[in-house]
Amino acid sequence: MRQDSRGFIPVRRFIAFGIAIFLVFSTLTVRLYDLEILRGDYYHVLSEQNRIVRLPVPAERGGIVDRTGYVLARNIPGFAISVIPVDLPRTREEELSQRLGSLLTLPSDSVDETIRAQRIRNPYEPVRISKTPVPREIALAVTERAELFPGVRVDPESIRFYVDGTLYAPVMGYTGPITEQEFEKLKQSGYLGNDDIGRTGIESIYEQYLRGTYGWREIERDAALREIKTLALQRATVGDTVSLTIDDRLQKLLDAELRKGVDDDKFTQAVGVAMNPQNGEILAMVSIPGYDNNMFARGITTAELAALNGDDRHPLVNKAIGDRYPAGSTFKMVTGLSALSEGTATRETVVNVSASSFSVSGTTFYDWRQHGSLDFVHGFAHSSDIYFYTLAGGTQFAPNVHGVGPDAIAKYARMLGFGSPTGIDLPNEDGGIMPDPQWKLATFDEPWTIGNTYQEAIGQGFVAVTPLQLLNAYAAVANGGTLWQPHLLKQVTDAAGKNVPIPEWTSQKLAMTQDNLRLIRESARRVVTIGHAYMPNLKIPIAGKTGTAEFGASTGKDSAGRNKLGFHNWFVSFVPQADNTDPTAQIAMVIFTYDSSKSLCELCLNPAVGMTQRILERYLGANK
Amino acid sequence: MSLRRPATPLHDRPAPRRWIQIDPILLIVTLLLIGYGLVMTYSTTAETRTFTGDPMQFVVRGAIWAAVGLAAMAAVALFDYAWLGAFAPLLYVFTLGLLSVVLAIGTSSLGAQRSVNLGGLSFQFSEVAKVLMIIVLAKFFADRRASIGSPLTMLLGLVLLAPAVFLVYRQPDLGTSLVFIAIFFGIAFLAGARIWQLVALVAIAAASFPIVWSLLKDYQRARLSAFLNPYADPQGAGWNIIQSLIAVGSGGATGKGLTAGTQSPLGYLPIAESDFVFSGLAEDLGFAGAVILFALYIVLLVAALRVAFRAKDPFGMLIGAGVATMLLCQIMVNVGMAISLMPVTGIPLPFISHGGSSLVSICFALGVLQSISMRREPEGP
């Protein structure tokens, strides 16, 4: 051991002190190496997360207009109340939940629960507390007393406004808050947890155009969570404007007539659809009763929703596409075309309807009168059931006429679009039912009977169609044999006014001769001029076909307190350019009235006929 | 306390020989650390200055304090440190007086009464008290080299220490009272105290921890709990620790650059110019900046120990040991706190924390060390 000349110097203790210094700095350096070198990137991210927040900047939703530019859906300003959990001290959470709860008339438990859940999920992201846009007064109450509302944000928010709410609701649909499941699927595409999304109708199917592109704002903020400055900004791009093929004038004419019919207690529900047979554009689509989609836009209450769901007239269903009905006599067009196309009947095929009923294996089949001798045009014009029983299955009234049979009818019916959705650009379209013997065997495990053929021939029995299917089939006849994909979208324009590419609409040529199609058009014109749907003082060459269907309950009252008579009327029509059965019709229309209360007699006028005449005369009269 | 060599200091005069014996390494490292401190003051107050309108306000104030400190250092070096020994009893009374004044008329900040306002300037007397206590304890143990092995000597030393620790603890300043205790251990260790007695003292302290715990204030307990698990209350007691770790870690190898740190200017890092100054340094200058600081500290401590080692008498040696202990303890606690190796306590980081009392006190202590160095026996041939 080294001896110092001065005995008081404890050398070993100095060495120990030196070792202590070495140990202290070694420990500190190792720890620093771990924090800064090994985990530096991790902490760098944390420090950036501390100060930089990227806030979404929602885009304004695009408008929806009719074919002339008349605005159907736009946005009006409102406010959203949200909470950023990191800005809210835990100790004040309960107090704030109660205050917000009473201000927004929400249970404070659920407010608290929302905040708590968000605190776990991402405390830096605002969570919307107000379920619906709140008016300016409530927004002001929050912003003016900010000290009472720690962590609360008030953001301007648009409320969707539907100009003619109930009139267009079945077509337009509505927007609503995104669900948890949708959000999981869509968050990669930039959707936010508190976003609105198109729920049904046009709003849903053209969400991609209407939504716009959300922007973002990257802000730096201090520990008190005050915004210091905006670091970067990506502006939102307003959604595209969607122009529909709808003509608001026709829509309103159609709606006024149908609504008047309901008000006059002629029927309880009604559907009207009009389209351009030349290209499949839907010009009007009315479904009554409907609902006011503004209820959904501003946030529907549980009671309101329960009332809509409890209504047995199903106001939430767009009956033009979403429900199926027997086609009735309108289906004779299909039976006739089948027989003509297969060659089992011609224009000259005559059936002597010498009785108003006949029986086959114990079942009696009726006609509405004893017509006498009828050729094709008159059989169609007077809507003789027996004439079409004969074309379909053969009867005693014309022993030399062979029925074309149910398989052929099904084949041509499907060619005309029955039995499957038309492909219109709306969600929840029904496909209807187009039966044939195989279908019956598969569905009911029973063989097809001649009775089934007769019922099918006049659109009863198993046949079920949507009003749009029926209209589309007649439109194909009216335009000379092209079955279009009906559609509501005319064009999409972006914020700069440029056209955005839209889907191509499909069409199919019918495997039918022009002569046969012309014969149907001529017969349909005769329906109006001499037949079943006589229109007095008619100023335009309307052609069409009536139909009457009986189904459903015919006793009791519906939700509106009206008698359910189970008796329903169709009139499907088109308007050739001149009275010459040319394939140039610019408009075709179907009207369906449900539960007609005053049409139990066979000779009473089908209310759809008169309405069609008034609507088309007014619409085309003003157009010319 | 008896004075063994009362006559010597009275005849001491600075002589050219003594100036030659000044410790140049200690002086240079002191100047470098003061400079480093001013740079860090500039960096961590970069954001604050935009609010006061005087961008260099803190730096200018720091420079003035540095000048005062250096003047004090030179003045103290001029005088023979033996004078300090001569007046040790007086210094002791003065120390306790200062600490009592803090409790009596001190101003509160952040819940603790630690500073006294004099003519618009705020003084932290406990910083001065630490240095004075070093002198008092050094004198005490230097005079008792013969009886150092006796438990009675240790007990007497503790009795000497206790009032100061108690007064600082009452401010309350737990950290500084722990520094006082560390100084006691450092001086006693180099004075030749029996190891088993020191170990026994530590054991007694550890055993009495439950009692100490019950005496702690709520916020002190919260800090200790937060040290063990900062994420238990990340918005509350754990906030400082978490934000400090983020600041340090995000500095990486070479830091974000001077004034480019984000944690302290945006307020995530509290008291970034004093208590958490190391976190700001590590964020701005990174691992490299911290290692440079450590290197300077090691040079400083080794230089201080060398002064002690070469001192002409036990009193000088023990003062050197006490100053080295104080500096090491403060560095360890402050840096340890910033990187979550120690609980949060409000102890300044020597030279780097912005604050005049700390800087001038340390300069005073280093002046004493230079005085010791100047008056050592010249190296033999």
Q: Count Cβ atoms below 10 Å from residue A198 Cβ, excluding itself.
A: 22
Q: Count Cβ atoms below 10 Å from residue A553 Cβ, excluding itself.
A: 12
Which of B286, B317, B335 faces A36 most closely, judged by CB atoms? B286
Sign of the dihedral through C-alpha A446, A451, A457, A459? negative
Whether A201 and A323 map to the same domain: the answer is no
- CB crowding A216-236: b at 16 or more within 10 Å, else e: ebebbbbbeeeeeeeeeeeeb
What is the 8-class DSSP label of residue A215?
A: E
Kindly report the pTM of this predicted structure.
0.67
Whether A229 and A275 map to the same domain: the answer is no
Which of B297, B312, B339 faces A32 most closely, judged by CB atoms? B339
In A84-201, where do the E strands start and end?
127-128, 152-162, 174-177, 196-200
Please tell me the distance in Å from B31's CA to the nearest CA on chain A: 21
- pLDDT digit string (tens) for B64-104? 999 999 999 999 998 899 999 999 999 999 999 999 988 88
Q: Is A51 at the interface with chain B, CB within 8 A? A: yes
Please tell me the distance in Å from B263's CA to the nearest CA on chain A: 7
Nearest CA in chain B to A45: B250
- CB crowding A449-476: b at 16 or more within 10 Å, else e: bbbbbbbbbbbbbbbbbbbbbbbbbbbb
Range of the domain at A28: 11-38
Q: In this structure, is residue A177 part of a structural domain?
A: yes
Sign of the dihedral through C-alpha A11, A12, A14, A15? positive
Question: What stretches of B14-55 show up as alpha helix (H) in DSSP?
Answer: 16-20, 24-44, 49-52
Contact B252 A35 (CB under 8 A): no
Regarding beta strands A52-57 and A215-221, do their DSSP bridges make them parallel or antiparallel, or are they unpaired?
Answer: antiparallel
Chain A interface disruption, residue of B4, B141, B144, B250, most A CBs within 10 A: B250
Q: In this structure, is residue A43 part of a structural domain?
A: no
Scanning the structure block, which residue is given the tokens 């020191």?
A: B198
CB A157 within 8 A of CB A78: yes
Q: Which chain A residues touch B262 with a CB distance below 8 Å?
A: 47-48, 50-51, 220
Q: Is A46 at the interface with chain B, CB within 8 A? A: yes
Contact B250 A47 (CB under 8 A): yes
Q: Which chain A residues touch B294 with a CB distance below 8 Å?
A: 25, 28-29
- pLDDT digit string (tens) for B246-258? 989 999 999 888 8
Nearest CA in chain B to A10: B190
- pLDDT digit string (tens) for A159-214? 889 999 899 999 999 998 888 888 888 888 888 877 889 989 999 999 999 998 88
Separation in Å, CA A519 to CA A340, A416, A458: 9, 16, 18
Mean pLDDT for chain A overall: 89
Whether A57 and A183 map to the same domain: the answer is yes
Kindly report the three-state secondary structure assignment for every residue of A588-622.
Answer: EEEEEEECCCCCCCCCCCCHHHHHHHHHHHHHHHH
Which of B190, B262, B341 faces A51 most closely, judged by CB atoms? B262
- The one-letter amino acid code at A361 reads S
For residue A26, give every residue at least 6 positions away whose Cβ sits within 8 Å of its Cβ, in sequence order, or none. none
Q: In this structure, is residue A3 part of a structural domain?
A: no
Chain B interface disruption, residue of A36, A46, A218, most B CBs within 10 A: A36
Q: What is the dihedral of CA A307, A309, A310, A315, to 10 degrees?
A: 90
Contact B262 A39 (CB under 8 A): no
Which of A8, A40, A86 faces B249 most closely, judged by CB atoms? A40
Whether A66 and A80 map to the same domain: the answer is yes
Q: In this structure, is residue A511 part of a structural domain?
A: yes
Q: Is A43 at the interface with chain B, CB within 8 A? A: yes
Residue A163's CATH number = 3.90.1310.10
Whether A613 and A585 map to the same domain: the answer is yes
CB B145 within 8 A of CB A10: no
Q: Which of A485, A435, A444 is nearest to A464 (CA)?
A: A435
Which of A17, A36, A48 faces B190 most closely, judged by CB atoms? A17
Q: Is A19 at the interface with chain B, CB within 8 A? A: no
Q: Is A226 at the interface with chain B, CB within 8 A? A: no
pLDDT under 70 in chain B at which residues? 1-17, 46-55, 108-113, 119-120, 235-237, 271-273, 379-381
Residue A385's CATH number = 3.40.710.10
**Complex ipTM, two decimals?**
0.92
Cα–chain-centroid distance for residue A18?
Answer: 83
Contact B253 A40 (CB under 8 A): yes
Q: Which of A267, A266, A284, A79 is nearest to A164 (CA)?
A: A284
Which of B235, B245, B309 faces A35 most closely, judged by CB atoms? B245
Whether A281 and A324 map to the same domain: the answer is yes
CA angle A121, A123, A128 (to 5 degrees): 85
Q: Which chain B residues touch A88 with a CB distance below 8 Å?
A: none
Average pLDDT over residues A227-239: 83
Q: At A138, is the pLDDT very low, low, confident or very high (cuts 50, 70, 90)?
A: confident
> Which residues is A352 bridged to in the sheet?
A373
CB A81 within 8 A of CB A128: yes
Judged by DSSP in three states, A73 sits in: strand
- pLDDT digit string (tens) for A492-521? 999 888 999 999 999 999 999 999 999 999
Q: What are phi and psi of B119, to 5 degrees?
A: 55, 40
Whether A295 and A371 map to the same domain: the answer is yes
Q: Which chain B residues touch A33 with a CB distance below 8 Å?
A: 287
Q: Is A40 at the interface with chain B, CB within 8 A? A: yes
Q: In this structure, is residue A362 part of a structural domain?
A: yes
Q: In this structure, is residue A4 part of a structural domain?
A: no
**Listed residues A229, A244, A259: the one ending a domain:** A244
Judged by DSSP in three states, A84 sits in: coil
- Looking at residue A2, what is its pLDDT? 42
Whether A228 and A271 map to the same domain: the answer is no
Average pLDDT over residues A318-345: 95
Whether A551 and A432 map to the same domain: the answer is yes
> What is the residue extent of each domain of chain B?
14-374
- Looking at residue B141, what is its pLDDT? 94
Contact A43 B336 (CB under 8 A): no
Q: What are phi and psi of A142, to 5 degrees?
A: -75, -45
Nearest CA in chain A to B325: A17
Whether A21 and A126 map to the same domain: the answer is no
Q: Which of A619, A395, A608, A590 is nearest to A473 (CA)?
A: A590
- pLDDT digit string (tens) for B292-318? 999 999 999 999 999 999 999 999 999
Q: Domain count for chain A, please give it.
A: 3
Nearest CA in chain A to B246: A43
